[in-house]
Structure 1
Amino acid sequence: MLHTIIKKNSYQDSINLMLLTNAVSSMDGLNKVQIMMATPSNKDIFKDAGLHTEELEAAESNDMAIVIDTENESKVDEVLEKVDQYLKDQSISNSGSGLETVRTWDRAKNTLPNANMAMISVPGQYAAEEADKALDMGLHVFLFSDNVPMEDEVRLKKKAHEKGLLVMGPDCGTGILDGVPMAFANVVNKGKIGIVGASGTGIQEVSTIIDRMGEGVSHAIGTGGRDLKDPVGAITMMDGIRALENHNQTDIIAIISKPPAKEVRNEVVELLHSLSKPVVTIFLGEKPEQHEGNVYQAYTLAETAKIAVDLAKGNEIKEDYNAGDYAVEGTELQEGQTGIKGLFSGGTLASEAAVLISDALGLGSAITNEDGYVLKRDGHEVVDLGDDKYTQGKPHPMIDPETRAKFIAQAAEDEKTGVILLDFVLGYGSHEDMASALLPSIEKAVNHAKTQGRKLHVVASVCGTKNDPQDYEGHINRLKDAGIIVKDNNNEAVRTALNIVGLELKDEVKKHVEAEAPQKTFDLTASEQINAFVNEKPRVINVGLKSFTEALINNGASVVQYDWRPIAGGNEKMRKILSLLK
């Protein structure tokens, strides 16, 4: 039986409500429960979950909706008690943080008059409007929000470029600005390697390897995953490159991208050949055969980091950074047990794994993302569990282990599975101890396979640094103690998994050749606002997820919290009318 409770004008951010739903779902006597704001898109999620009711339909976007499926009516009061206590605890926690909180843009700007950036994490349908306001106030924009239409992204980035500002995003999950981690990012030492990345966990993997190798990062400018698509044309990436070219504290530049549009990629590379600084590039899906002039071309994220570190240290660049001993003793796989199941929380790490496995299978290194699977071939599966398909109404797998636990169980049921391949991504925003959270599911899967007469191998990498909020070494030790093969990075983990099932990669030995003269002349200057931005500490108006302020405050940034609420209570028609009246 369905029970609906509507809390009028009780706005909470989506991550809080997802975590609250998970906490309540563990209660006995409930068939299902879902807690979300009653937006039109969320009502569709309720419908898909079989939790749609008439009371829900009447609720408005600024109302919190709780729908409970239970045969025991007394459980409804228990759920409400737990919800109220959770919200009370949140309120106490927020009031004790010392963070100044405001309710309007004007108050935010008055409170932090020298703000230079807005960090926006509101629901996607409102994000472009808030980004517009920030740009009109002369602020650079870090746009974490996803589900922003492509035409809005193009418009915002063109507007920003004309104003001499940066729009990082939408769907920009990671950045590091002058040592300050943004959103899902790691605590990385400052140094002379600058990164511009059209990928979140790609930036995390490269920056953490750089840190662990003893070097540091000046800035890691995220662009959002669509920046190198044809309609956008790499507006943010190219402005970010110019920023680092003119930044005195940056000596080396690293470029990270998921598979780009060919013409856009070529335009970016032409710009790179015009720079005075050496550059390392990785365009996932490409398998480069040589380095050209000042542009060093990597095949893997680890190779990208290692070349950048050698350039920073003045070391000779090696012909092959991917060679190594990936053999595992005592594999003891059954006949037909040849499949690798890559279950990733990081989208770029999933893409890298898919590229390497596809290459080892002789299928080439080009990949496509279909229905959340980055690769699904011959018993091998690589899935990006952070894909929209798996996060509708659920927390991201970096935050919550539930979705990945289900996939681990399914992988153990498949008789073809020889290896389960996992990533553990640490840093701000991520789960406080994902190793401990997933180990029961991993151990259950390994034991289940054992009862079926199969040996199931688990290979993992941990993306993090010793200064992250989580315990990096502790994570590794907990995994190793549980019998998991832990490698230093994703590239090594994938190659180890390939070795276990009898596959290997043939790497290119890269020579260094002179580059042809650029066909175009580029203006390499950066705007006055961008130059100032990369030479100062971030001063941030945080619009949306309050949890993002922890990393900002802990790392020396000035911040004011804009406690955002939907205009007109989320009534779309009224919101448009009010917007036109301004």
Structure 2
Amino acid sequence: MNDLVDVRAGVYRDSVSLMRVSQALAARPGVAVAVVAMATELNAGLARDLGFDVPAATPGDLLVAVRASSEAELAEALAELERQLAAREPAGGSGTREAAPRTTRSAARGWDADVVLVSVPGEHAFAEAMDAVEAGLSVMVFSDNVPVEQEILLKDRALEKGVLVMGPDCGTAVVGGAGLGFANVLRPGPVGVVAASGTGAQQVTSLLDLAGVGVSHLLGVGGRDLSAAVGGRSAVQALRALDADPATELIVLVSKPPAPEVARAVQALDLGTPVVAALLGPGQDDLTAAAEKTLRALGRDVPEWPSWPAEGGREPGRGPLRGLYSGGTLCTEAALIAGTGEFTDYGDDEYTRGRAHPMIDPALRLEALAGVREGVALLDVVLGHGADPDPAARLAPAVEEARARGVAVVVALVGTEGDPQGLRGQAERLSAAGAAVFTSNAAAARHARSLATG
């Protein structure tokens, strides 16, 4: 084997771009390992664990570590590296350009902006988000691993400043038609959404879109907002904002299981706009039922939600049920409906520290699926901007391998016809590989349960 380790001082690319570069190099003939990442302590340690001799570097340096079978294959991989990095050169290239702002507040002074999106490691998110709030801007905090005490401080100060904090760990939002974070392509329409759940909101709005109903705004508030600690601080602000919006005729409130006292207080708000609650928990509507209730409230017909049967003969099953999820709310919903099995949310903070979210990088879930030897595997695949541009490319072969082992695979495919990955094309490829595919996560969970229990 031939190794190359290169540290490029002061060269920066975002983590998702570098993950794509690493994948492109690793897919080349003769390449055994490829690590292209910022030289954080975590990434440098990963490279050392793989047997690379990594020199001293700082988190502001680019680390390249490649192992190939021959010198020729290594040289070809490095040529591909240069092509990949050049294609991701920041706007303006390496020539002279105006210095970038050093703080969020200074950036806000130079732009006619209303919303700031913060996506930095969790330990740095509070400072940037508070900078936005102090500048009088609403802020979406995509970052996770933010302490709850900091979340409360942010939201209290935002209320004083008359702005909204969406997050932390806010995975999706749609503001004035602009999608932020993981965003499906949604048609405009009369439904406003307040969501203490990213993938829960994506499920509801995607189903509404499939039924021909659009969205005015989707305001994420962070998965902890309806907890006892946070007390619905941002949910209350967001509900009142949508209530005052003339384009919003009905509001859907979405949350993973909330603190009961907080749910009661939020639902007791005196609003002029009707609210449909999609608050997961025992005895509560699932997300599909909430979407159907919304359609009926608007006087719309409820369609038959698209699904695709598993090709390749009779589905195996009867055995343990494993839920391998990227979306926390979808995972919770599926576990509640199935009532049996082992469920893992690979989007949880413990799995995303130092690595890309599983909606972007499926590696951990594919590894977990490869370890399922019997029974049924239930997965979600979430489409839209920001997510894996072609999830079926890596998942379909893994589904075929699982079926060859006698494992049934069921997929909840969350997305719209307008999403860049192509909803129907993704579904057809997964179905052809042997997975049963449902656009309703609730329907997918029920099908998986029926297979597992025989």
Structure 2 matches for 1:160-559, cutoff 5 A?
Answer: 160-271=158-269, 274-288=270-284, 299-313=285-299, 337-358=318-339, 361=340, 380-411=341-372, 414-415=373-374, 417=375, 419-449=376-406, 456-502=407-453
Whether the aligned pair in 1 keeps the contact of 2:338 and 2:445 (CA below 8 Å) is yes
Q: 1:439 to 1:71 in 2, by over 3 A?
A: closer
Q: Distance in 2 between matches of 1:102 and 1:133?
A: 19
SS in 2 for 1:134: helix
- With structure 2 as the length reference, what TM-score do the two structures score? 0.87
The Cα of 1:442 is off from its aligned counterpart by: 0.8
SS in 1 for 2:254: strand
SS in 2 for 1:382: strand
Q: Distance in 2 between matches of 1:107 and 1:328?
A: 54
The equivalent residue for 1:516 is none
Whether the aligned pair in 2 keeps the contact of 1:45 and 1:393 (CA below 8 Å) is no
The Cα of 1:205 is off from its aligned counterpart by: 0.3
Q: Distance in 2 between matches of 1:427 and 1:314?
A: 25
Q: Note the residue ranges of structure 2 that are not aligned, 5 or more in a row.
A: none
Q: Distance in 1 between matches of 2:309 and 2:235?
A: 39
Q: After the TM superposition, which of the residue ranges 70-79 and 479-488 deviates more from structure 2?
A: 70-79
Amino acid at match of 2:17: N
Amino acid at match of 2:439: D
Whether the aligned pair in 1 keeps the contact of 2:7 and 2:64 (CA below 8 Å) is yes
Q: Distance in 2 between matches of 1:327 and 1:84?
A: 43
Q: 1:465 to 1:21 in 2, by over 3 A?
A: same
Amino acid at match of 1:87: L
- The Cα offsets for residues 246-286 of structure 1, whole Å up to 9 and x where unpaired, read as 21221211111112233333322332xx2222211122223
- With structure 1 as the length reference, what TM-score do the two structures score? 0.69
The Cα of 1:497 is off from its aligned counterpart by: 1.5
The equivalent residue for 1:37 is 38
The Cα of 1:347 is off from its aligned counterpart by: 2.0
The Cα of 1:174 is off from its aligned counterpart by: 0.4
SS in 2 for 1:91: coil
The answer on 1:103 being equivalent to 2:100 is: yes
The Cα of 1:129 is off from its aligned counterpart by: 1.6
Q: Distance in 1 between matches of 2:165 and 2:381?
A: 29
The Cα of 1:166 is off from its aligned counterpart by: 0.5
Whether the aligned pair in 1 keeps the contact of 2:403 and 2:434 (CA below 8 Å) is no
Q: Distance in 2 between matches of 1:191 and 1:332?
A: 39
- The Cα offsets for residues 524-571 of structure 1, whole Å up to 9 and x where unpaired, read as xxxxxxxxxxxxxxxxxxxxxxxxxxxxxxxxxxxxxxxxxxxxxxxx
The equivalent residue for 1:7 is 8
Whether the aligned pair in 1 keeps the contact of 2:5 and 2:63 (CA below 8 Å) is yes
- The Cα offsets for residues 104-145 of structure 1, whole Å up to 9 and x where unpaired, read as 057744542x31111121222322222122122211101112
SS in 2 for 1:313: coil
- The Cα offsets for residues 404-449 of structure 1, whole Å up to 9 and x where unpaired, read as 32222211xx23x1x2222221111112221233111111221233
- The Cα offsets for residues 490-516 of structure 1, whole Å up to 9 and x where unpaired, read as 11111111122337xxxxxxxxxxxxx
Q: Note the residue ranges of structure 1 that are not aligned, 5 or more in a row.
A: 289-298, 362-379, 450-455, 504-582
What is the root-mean-square deviation in Å for CA atoms of aligned residues?
A: 3.2
Whether the aligned pair in 2 keeps the contact of 1:2 and 1:51 (CA below 8 Å) is no
Q: Distance in 2 between matches of 1:459 and 1:22?
A: 26
The Cα of 1:238 is off from its aligned counterpart by: 1.1
Q: 1:74 to 1:473 in 2, by over 3 A?
A: closer
Q: Distance in 1 between matches of 2:243 and 2:138?
A: 19
Q: 1:144 to 1:326 in 2, by over 3 A?
A: closer
Amino acid at match of 2:327: G
Q: Distance in 1 between matches of 2:105 and 2:325?
A: 41
Indicate the structure whose relative CO is greater, using CA pairs within 8 Å and at least 6 residues apart: 1
Structure 2 matches for 1:111-130, cutoff 5 A?
Answer: 111-112=110-111, 114-130=112-128
Whether the aligned pair in 1 keeps the contact of 2:309 and 2:436 (CA below 8 Å) is no
Q: Distance in 2 between matches of 1:391 and 1:73?
A: 34
Q: After the TM superposition, which of the residue ranges 464-473 and 160-169 deviates more from structure 2?
A: 464-473
**Size of the alignment, in residue pairs?**
446
Amino acid at match of 1:470: Q
Q: Distance in 2 between matches of 1:68 and 1:403?
A: 21
The equivalent residue for 1:143 is 141
- The Cα offsets for residues 454-494 of structure 1, whole Å up to 9 and x where unpaired, read as xx332223211111112122222223333432223111111
Q: After the TM superposition, which of the residue ranges 388-397 and 299-308 deviates more from structure 2?
A: 388-397
